[in-house]
């Protein structure tokens, strides 16, 4: 049985702000130092009070985005895992990212429902949303994954027993960041390559939803989507990022690319 790695819901009200266009020069670089950045992969996001974890930084010619799971804006319960039928808050929804407010400009669930997508694997595993950051926030962004560094690029298939790395930031940990870095192994791909089943010593929990996963070379392979209760309790379903980005590019006018981390990937660190 699979359930969404449902966001933690907290009572919070966030002010609505205008989101200006980011100048092309800013979007092209000029990231904050990793040690000082307040917006980065692994930071908490809040959508209508539901807490998730950001995965990676993306950019287009005119804007900078941070990713979260599409289901982080879902309005149903945690058993509603089919993105072609599960409801979501609309595009334009404000999302709190650290100390700024961004705007949800892409959601794979909304896109699939608009297109009346019929592919069972696509509907089950395509779970990506993009939050456009305001121009004033670009100077606070660094694309590096905390603790591990990277991403070094975009990954793909992960064979069984291949090592994987992640960084979750659930509020359920009570601010104990020592439990955020996770490493484990892939249990293999499923859904025609649309998903990776992974097992980590400290599995993802609600609030880790949307966090990014890296492979042994530091490449971004996916987004934490579901908690698997059987047959391997404590394992997680990770939507394949390469497939999710290809779907986005094929069905929207957004032309975004993954931003590589400024910090080197360090797989030999001890959690």
pLDDT mean across residues, the chain: 89
**Which of 5-9, 41-45, 150-154, 181-185 shows the lowest per-residue confidence on average (mean pLDDT)?**
5-9
pTM score, two decimals? 0.88
- Cα 85 to the chain's mean position, in Å? 21
Q: How confident is the model at residue 258 (pLDDT cuts 50, 70, 90)?
A: very high
- Specify the pLDDT at position 174: 75
- Specify the pLDDT at position 151: 98
Q: pLDDT of 188-227, one tens digit each? A: 999 999 999 999 987 788 899 999 999 999 999 999 999 8
- Specify the pLDDT at position 173: 76
Q: Which of 179, 223, 220 is nearest to 203 (CA)?
A: 179
């Amino acid at each position: 049985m699979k359930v969404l790695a449902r966001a933690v819901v907290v009572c919070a009200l966030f002010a609505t702000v205008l989101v200006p266009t980011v100048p092309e020069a800013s979007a092209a670089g000029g990231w904050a130092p990793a040690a000082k950045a307040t917006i980065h992969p692994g930071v908490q996001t809040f959508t209508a009070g539901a807490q998730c974890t950001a995965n990676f930084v993306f950019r287009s010619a005119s804007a900078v985005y941070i990713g979260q799971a599409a289901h982080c804006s879902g309005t149903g319960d945690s058993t509603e895992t089919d993105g072609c039928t599960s409801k979501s808050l609309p595009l334009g929804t404000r999302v709190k990212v650290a100390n700024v407010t961004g705007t949800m400009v892409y959601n794979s669930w909304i896109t699939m429902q608009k297109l009346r997508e019929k592919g069972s694997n696509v509907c089950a595993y395509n779970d990506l949303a993009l939050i456009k950051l305001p121009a004033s926030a670009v100077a606070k962004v660094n694309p590096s994954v905390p603790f591990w560094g990277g991403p070094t690029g975009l990954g793909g298939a992960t064979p069984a027993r291949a090592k994987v790395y992640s960084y979750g930031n659930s509020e359920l940990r009570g601010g104990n960041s020592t439990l955020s870095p996770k490493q484990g192994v892939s249990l293999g791909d499923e859904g025609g390559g649309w998903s990776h089943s992974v097992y980590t010593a400290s599995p993802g929990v609600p609030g880790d939803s949307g966090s990014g996963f890296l492979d042994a070379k530091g490449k971004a392979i996916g987004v934490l989507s579901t908690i698997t209760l059987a047959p391997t309790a404590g394992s997680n379903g990770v939507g394949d990022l390469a497939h999710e980005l290809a779907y986005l590019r094929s069905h929207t006018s957004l032309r975004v690319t993954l931003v590589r981390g400024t910090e080197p990937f360090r797989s030999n660190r001890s959690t």
